Structure 1
Amino acid sequence: MKYAMIGTWRMAYEAIANNIDQLKQSTAPGAALVQAIVEVENYPYFKSVGYGGLPNQECEVELDAAFMNGSTLAIGAIGGVKNIKNPIKLAHHLSQEKFNSFLVAAGAEKYAQQQGFEFTNMLTKRAQQHYQKKLDLLRSDPTLSPYDGHDTVGMVSLDSQNNLCVGTSTSGLFMKKPGRVGDSPVMGSGFYADSEVGGAVATGLGEDIYKGCLSFLVVEKLRQNFDVKTVVQEVVKEFNDKLIQKYGKCGPISIVALDKNGEYGVGTNCEFSFVVGNHNQVTTIYLAQPNEDLTKLTITKPSPKWLADYDRARKEPIK
C-alpha cells in the first residue's frame, strides 16, 4: 500500500505529521490534505498563511487558496477574500461545483456566507505590528522594497486509493496592492494534479511563477516519463535561466511534486525547506540548497539550531 504527502516549508511539518495516516484509509479524496492545510491556516505565527497572515498595503488581509482533485481534474479556487477563516475549505467546496468554481473578492465572500462558512477577523495584533514596523522602515529609507513574505503553503497527497490531490493557501505578498493575486490560486501555475501522472505545487514570487505555468509543466514532464527526483529541479533551472535572460533577474521559485507511485521531487533557486512523509518513511523536514548554477540540489535535514532559530523567529517579540 503506497501513500505520501509533501508540503512546502517547515510550517507544513506538524500538519502533515498529524494527518498523513488518513491517507491509508478510504476517506474522501483530499480530506487529509485539506485538514492539514486548515491546521497551517489556523496557526497564528505562520505570517504568510491564514490567520495571522501579513496584510496588504491598506493593512487588510487578503487570502488566496486552491484545491484540485487529480482523479477527476476538478478544481476550486478563491482569490482576494477577506475574513474567511479557512480559505482551503471554500476552495475544496468549490471544486465540487460544476460551475462558478473560481470566485474572487466580494463574490467569493457572499457565496461563503450563503453556504455557512465561518468568518473571523484574520488580522492579528502581531500582523499589525509587522505592518507598522515595515511602514517605519519605508519612511526612513524609501529605497527599500515594501514587498516581503511569499511563503505559500502548498501540499500534494497520494492516498491508498491512488488519488492525487493538491492544495494551496496564502496571504500573498506582504504590503501588496489591494486586489493583487499571485500564482497560488491559478491552475497550472501554483498547482496541478493528474492522478494518472503526478501533482505539483509552487511557492515563491507569483508574478514570475505564472509566467511559466510551472506546476503544469512539471506534471507534463512526468507524463513524458521524466524522473520526478530530477525533473523538478530541471524545470526550475530552465525557467530561472530564461527569466534572467529576459529580465536580468528571477524571483524565488520552489516546487514540490509527487508522481503516481508516491516518489517525490523538489526544485528551487533558493534555500528552501520542505516536509515529506510516505509509506516508507516518517514525516521529515528537509532543507534543499541549490548550487550556484542550479544544476544540483543538496538535500539535508536541518540542524537543531536551524529548527530553534526558525521557531524563535516566528514567535519572538517584534521590536
Structure 2
Amino acid sequence: MWGIIATWRMAHDGVLAAKEMLAADAFAGDAMETAIKMVEDYPYYKSVGYGGLPNETGILEMDAAYMDGTTFAIGAVAGITDVPNPIAVARQLSHEKFNSFRVGAGATQYAMLAGFPRKNMLTERARRIWEKRCEEIAKTNLSPYDGHDTVGMVCLDQNQRMTVGTSSSGLFMKKAGRVGDSPLSGSGFYVDAEIGGAAATGLGEDLMKGCLSYEIVQLMASGLTPQAACDKAVYGFTEKLTQRYGKAGAFSLVAMNNQGQWGVATNVEFTFSVAVKDGVCGIFMAKPGGNQTTVIEPITQEWLDAYEKRIKAPV
C-alpha cells in the first residue's frame, strides 16, 4: 500500500508526481519533497514559496517543516528568506542532531552555507498585490490580514515508511518575524510510521492552541479511523476554542494512517488532494456537516476553471 494526501487544490500536480514515484517504490520523503517543491515553485500560488505574499514591510518570510515517521527526525525553518525551496532546507536540517530548527537570518545563513541556491522569491505580481493592499489599508483602515494557506502533506510508501511536510509564506501582511503553526511539531504536522500522520492549514495562531496534528495521530493510535480522528479533533476543538477564547479561526487538517486510509476535517470550506494505491485519486471539497462530521465531494470542472481564472487574474 502507498498513498499521499495534501491540503488545497494547489497541491494536486505535486500529488500526481508523487503518485508516480510511490508506485515505482520511491521513499516517502523523496516523493513528498518533490510534491511540495512543485507547489513552492509555482508563481501563482500566493501562500507558498515563489510568488507567496510578503509581510507588512514587503519581505517574503517563509516557514517549512519535514518529519520522518520512522526515526522521528524533524527539521524546520521559520522566517527564511531568498531560498527557492524551504522544504528542502527543512529536510536537510532533519539530519542534524542539534540546531535542527532554524529561524530568520540563521535559517537563511544555514541554507547559503549548505549550498542551497539563492533567489529573490518576491515576484512582481506579489509585489503589486502587496502595494494594492497597503493602499487599501491606508484608505479604509481595514484589517490587513488575508490568506494563510499552508501546503501540508502526509505520505506513505510501499515499505510503510511515512513522512509529513509543510511549507508556507504565512499570513499575508503579517508582522515581521511572525511564525504560525506550520513549522511547529504537533500543531502544523506530526507523523508516527507505526500509526499515521496529520498536517494542518489555517490560522496558525489558533491552530497552535490545540496541537491538533499530534492529537489526530494519538486518536488514530487509540483505534479511530483517520476520518473519525479528524472529526473528533477538529470539531471538538473548534467548539472548545469558541467557548474559551470567544472565536475560532479557520483551520483544516488532513490525515493518513499506515494502511493508506485517510481523513479530512475542517471548520470552513476546504479543498484537498489525495491519491492511494488501487483507490481514489483526485481533488475534493470538504466542509463541515452535521453532528461533527465532514461532507466530502469531488471538485467540479466548473470550480476548477473558476479557480484557474481567479489565481491568474490580472492584478
TM-score bin, normalised by smaller chain: over 0.9
Q: Alignment partner of 1:285: what SS?
A: strand
Q: 1:294 to 1:53 in 2, by over 3 A?
A: farther
Show the counterpart of 2:71: 72
| Aligned amino acid, residue 84 of structure 1 | V
Give aligned-pair identity as a percent: 48
- Aligned partners of 1:66 and 1:185 also within 8 Å: yes
Kindly state the Cα deviation for residue 28 of structure 1 after the two structures are TM-superposed. 3.8
Greater shift, 80-89 or 13-22, is seen at: 13-22
Supply the AA of the counterpart residue of 1:168: T
Deviation at 1:305, TM superposition (A): 1.5
The SS at the match of 1:131 is helix
Aligned mate of 1:311, from 272, 283, 308: 308
Please give the residue correspondences for 1:144-183 in structure 2 after superposition, counting only pairs within 5 Å: 144-183=142-181
Give the conservation status (yes or no) of the 8 Å contact 1:52–1:126: yes
User: What is the CA deviation profile of residues 23-47 of structure 1, one whole-angstrom value per residue up to 9, with x for unaligned ones?
Assistant: 2344344100001000100000000
Matches within 5 A, 1:99-110: 99-110=98-109
Letter in 2 for 1:48: S
Give the alignment of 1:1-319 within 5 angstroms: 2-142=1-141, 144-281=142-279, 283-291=281-289, 295-318=292-315
Aligned partner of 1:42: which letter?
A: D
Give the gaps of 5 or more residues in structure 1.
Answer: none
Contact 1:25-1:160 at 8 Å conserved across structures: no
Q: Is the 8 Å Cα contact of residues 237 and 294 (structure 1) preserved in structure 2?
A: no
Are the equivalent residues in 1 in contact too, given 2:28–2:161 (CA < 8 A)? Answer: yes
The answer as to whether partners of 2:17 and 2:34 remain within 8 angstroms in 1 is no
SS of structure 2 residue aligned to 1:215: helix
Give the alignment's TM-score, normalised by structure 2: 0.98
- Partner amino acid for 2:301? P
The total of aligned residue pairs comes to: 315
Cα distance per residue 1:95-154 (max 9 Å; x no partner): 111111101111111111111001100000110111111112112211x21111100000
Aligned mates of 2:126, 2:47 — CA distance in 1: 10
Amino acid of the residue matched to residue 307 of structure 1? Answer: L
The range that moved more, 81-90 or 282-291, is 282-291
Does the 8 Å contact 1:233/1:294 carry over to 2? no
Deviation at residue 296 of structure 1 after TM alignment: 2.2
TM-score by length of 1: 0.97
SS in 1 for 2:34: helix
Query: Partners in 1 of 2:224 and 2:202 — Cα distance?
Result: 24
| Long gaps (5+) in structure 2 | none
CA distance in 1, matches of 2:222, 2:146: 36
In structure 2, distance between residues paired with 1:237 and 1:51: 33
**AA in 1 matched with 2:202:** G
